[in-house]
Chains A and B, each alone.
Chain A
Amino acid sequence: MSDPLQEFLRRNAPEPPAPARALEEHILEATLAPAPALPRMSRRPPALVAAASLTLLLLGGLGFWQQQQSGNPKGEPPFETAGLNIREPDTFFAVDPQTDLYDVRF
Chain B
Amino acid sequence: MRVGVAVTQVSDEQLVWRASRSDSQAFRELYRRYVSKVRGLLYQMMGDIESLDDLTQEVFVKVFKALPGFRGDAQFSTWLFRIAVNCCQDARRRRGRRPVAVPIDNLPLAARGEDPLGRLDREQLVSQALATLKEEHRDVVVLHDLHDRPQDEIAKLLTVPTGTVKSRLFYARRQLREWFYARGIEL
A residues within 8 Å of B by Cβ?
Answer: 3-6, 8-17, 19-20, 23-24, 26-28, 30-32
Using CB atoms, name the residue of chain B closest to A22: B53
Which secondary structure characterizes the binding site on chain B? helix
Q: Is there an interface contact between B28 and A9, defined as CB atoms closer than 8 Å?
A: no
Q: Is there an interface contact between B61 and A27, defined as CB atoms closer than 8 Å?
A: yes
Q: Is there an interface contact between B39 and A16, defined as CB atoms closer than 8 Å?
A: yes
Q: Is there an interface contact between B53 and A20, defined as CB atoms closer than 8 Å?
A: yes
Q: What are the residues of chain B within 8 A of A20 when measuring CB–CB?
A: 53
Task: Report the Cα distance A14→B52, complex, angstroms.
Answer: 13
Q: Is there an interface contact between B49 and A12, defined as CB atoms closer than 8 Å?
A: no
Which secondary structure characterizes the binding site on chain A? helix
- Listed A/B pairs (26) with beta-carbon separation below 8 Å: A3-B173, A5-B180, A9-B145, A10-B146, A12-B122, A12-B123, A12-B125, A13-B146, A14-B130, A15-B123, A16-B39, A16-B42, A17-B49, A17-B52, A19-B35, A19-B39, A23-B56, A23-B57, A24-B35, A27-B27, A27-B31, A27-B64, A28-B27, A28-B31, A32-B22, A32-B24
